[in-house]
Structure 1
Amino acid sequence: MKLYIPENYDPILSVRETQEAIKYIRDTFQKELGKVLGLSRISAPLFVEKSSGLNDNLNGIERPVSFDMKELPNDEIEVVQSLAKWKRLALKKYGFKMHEGLYTNMNAIRRDEEVDNTHSCYVDQWDWEKIISKEERTIDVLKQTVQDIFKVIKHMEHEVWYKYPNAVNHLPNKIHFITTQELEDKYPTLTPKERENAISKELGCVFIMKIGEPLHSGIPHDGRAPDYDDWSLNGDIFFWHETLQCGLELSSMGIRVDENAIVEQCKKSDCLNRLELPYHKMVVNKELPYTIGGGIGQSRLCMLLLNKAHVGEVQASIWPQEMIDECEKHKIHIL
């Protein structure tokens, strides 16, 4: 069990007040995000058929939660691990046009997650996806979208301050950009996680770009599935969390693979067999729109804005009893 206990922690808000703040943050943020990025709210599935190829295999080692279904005896049903592929298909299916997009609630179960202050077996995030042109598959478009998301998050700080002035966490005024290779060059003796913490502490907020390819050391910064993000056009948003003394990953996003990138990345990942799945065939055959998209953690946003010490303070999930008891001793009230 990994657990960090900050000294003299004060949650400031009661459990009831925290619940009210969570609702306010979630309601307000999704409206602002939709307005700034031009997104429409839609419904999304909790599970998909394994044979569709729509589920995300994340780093390739996480086991999806699966079950059978009486009416589909010949197929295995999997709880989604993310909606990265499903969203792109939905944009086509629902007739979205150029520069239109969608956002939705994504709820997932990560059964192999090692729980700690920021990780849970339950994932709740806003998943979003937007159609772009092939010519817009560039670093500049990626960076501008990241800037837009940062502005919404920064705006939320001010909104929360009006209602909860004593509880709000004050965020940096700027987001910085760095590639994973630049990060390795800057901190060659640190592990990838230590690099994330070091750069987040130095800059306050940073978008770490180009995740998936092996670096000069021969090791990727982090794992990425080969069939949704283009590894040269993706990244993660980190904020420095002073209470926890760590970088808090708030969002993973990127420009999605085109017909060339999906083949190249599947080849590098030794999974060319995936190209026979329905979704992958559509990408290769250019039957799906070119898109940019990502996920933004709902509980993590609440955790960041309210300066909470544990994600369990803003999310109802399951935790080891030992962790619950230790947290309670230090005014960390797990829901």
Structure 2
Amino acid sequence: MSYLIKPAGYQALLDLQQTEMGIKRIKDFFQQNLSSELKLRRVTAPLFVLKGMGINDDLNGVERAVNFPIKDMQDASAEIVHSLAKWKRLTLADYYINEGYGIYTDMNAIRADEELGNLHSLYVDQWDWERVMTPKDRNVEFLKKVVNRIYSAMVRTEYLVYEAFPVITPVLPEEITFLHAEELLQRYPGLTAKEREDSAAKEFGAVFIIGIGCKLSSGEPHDGRAPDYDDWITETENGYRGLNGDLIVWNPVLQRSVELSSMGIRVDREALLEQLRISGQESRQELYFHKRLLAGELPQSIGGGIGQSRLCMFYLRKGHIGEIQAAIWPQEMRLEAEKNGMPLI
């Protein structure tokens, strides 16, 4: 069910033309900085992949992929991508990318099962990136190092926006705070996972929550994660599990937390087999992607996605993602958003 947050007294700080100029500046500047920070080269990515090869991102495992038959291939079924989490790792192998280097691309997706609202659209656009690493990098400290590099690019981009539009004052702290999902559970007892994210983001300004998908002391994971890309089962030095996480900031317009990036160290053979077993999806071992990984044909890697429209929405202090991107919205949401100063493109 769609849901609209109505920020009290909201008024857009930029008009439509300024907004489009801001979007262009942000996207150009941020992707250049991301590429430099992580040593990434840009590649071309697919909009759709063949169904049944295990390449598409299964997200939480319940979302339906938009699919269509291909006339010239005996009606073989293609799926619009949810993201390129697994495709990128195949590309690292096929392009023979060296350790310490990687790729990034503009990922465009359709997620038909999204609950539409200020932050969620049917159309998803993000920078998907993937970088080759060594086995000795399979640790939380390496994960944090990469997160800090990405966050540095985010802080610099916010200052660029301020220089172009002085009415927009920077709000990101200089450093990001790292918390494991279990630490979050203990720090804010009695709250739901979303409420814990809101509390942490409000307290620290920007947080990276480690361990998305692993079972916590409550018996439940902080949030769902597919079993075949991020490693959420490996036990770390501090006794926690998980080598992945979500980058979350406090949004001063919506007065709530907003996830800008999901990323992690990817599964190796052992983590994949264990996570497939835990999720009851051992049959995936017979799929194309999984066979190549289990055969040792894919490099160890770290990767993730960074929402383009969400990033622009945050930097330009917009109340609705529909002020950044053109998409389909329920008519009642369009009318209500317009009443509350948020005209949807």
Q: Percent identity?
A: 50
How far apart, in 2, do the equivalents of 1:139 and 1:213 lie? 15
Identify which of 240, 255, 264 aligns with 2:250. 240
Residue 101 in 1 paired to residue 111 in 2? no
1:313 matched residue in structure 2: 323
1:228 matched residue in structure 2: 229
Offset, 1:51: 2.2
Q: Which stretch of structure 1 is more off in the superposition, 281-290 or 73-82?
A: 73-82
Q: Is the 8 A contact 1:169 1:306 kept in 2?
A: no
Query: How many pairs align?
Result: 335
1:180 matched residue in structure 2: 181
What letter corresponds to residue 327 of structure 1 in structure 2?
A: A
Q: Which stretch of structure 1 is more off in the superposition, 117-126 or 325-334?
A: 325-334
How far apart, in 2, do the equivalents of 1:320 and 1:214 lie? 36
Q: Is the 8 A contact 1:51 1:75 kept in 2?
A: no
Q: Do the aligned partners of residues 327 and 241 (structure 1) sit closer, same or farther apart at CA in structure 2, a change above 3 Å counting? A: same
What letter corresponds to residue 226 of structure 1 in structure 2?
A: P
1:132 matched residue in structure 2: 133
1:53 matched residue in structure 2: 54
1:150-194 Cα offsets, whole Å, 9 max, x none, are: 000000011111111113543222200001111111222111111
Offset, 1:134: 0.8
2:275 matched residue in structure 1: 265
1:8 matched residue in structure 2: 9
How far apart, in 1, do the equivalents of 2:169 and 2:91 lie? 36
Residue 42 in 1 paired to residue 43 in 2? yes
How far apart, in 2, do the equivalents of 1:332 and 1:138 lie? 43
What letter corresponds to residue 155 of structure 1 in structure 2?
A: R
1:242-300 Cα offsets, whole Å, 9 max, x none, are: 11011010000000000100000000000000011111011112110000000000001
Correspondence list, 1:60-71, <5 A: 60-71=61-72
1:23 matched residue in structure 2: 24
Q: Is the 8 A contact 2:13 2:317 kept in 1?
A: no
Offset, 1:83: 0.2
How far apart, in 2, do the equivalents of 1:281 and 1:301 lie? 35
Q: Is the 8 A contact 2:134 2:300 kept in 1?
A: yes
How far apart, in 2, do the equivalents of 1:260 and 1:285 lie? 12
Q: Is the 8 A contact 2:7 2:319 kept in 1?
A: yes
Residue 333 in 1 paired to residue 333 in 2? no
Q: Do the aligned partners of residues 107 and 168 (structure 1) sit closer, same or farther apart at CA in structure 2, a change above 3 Å counting? A: farther
Point out where structure 2 has 5 or more consecutive residues left out of the alignment: 233-241
1:118 matched residue in structure 2: 119
Q: Is the 8 A contact 1:212 1:221 kept in 2?
A: yes
What letter corresponds to residue 131 of structure 1 in structure 2?
A: V
1:27-46 Cα offsets, whole Å, 9 max, x none, are: 11111110111000110000
What letter corresponds to residue 334 of structure 1 in structure 2?
A: L
How far apart, in 2, do the equivalents of 1:75 and 1:195 lie? 44
Identify which of 301, 304, 307 aligns with 1:297. 307
For the residue of structure 2 that corresponds to 1:235, the secondary structure is strand
Normalised to the residue count of structure 2, the TM-score between the two structures is: 0.95
Q: Is the 8 A contact 2:159 2:170 kept in 1?
A: no
Identify which of 272, 277, 281 aligns with 2:287. 277
Q: Is the 8 A contact 1:167 1:306 kept in 2?
A: yes
Point out where structure 1 has 5 or more consecutive residues left out of the alignment: none
Residue 147 in 1 paired to residue 148 in 2? yes
Normalised to the residue count of structure 1, the TM-score between the two structures is: 0.98
2:334 matched residue in structure 1: 324
Offset, 1:74: 5.5
Deviant stretches of 4+, over 6 Å:
none
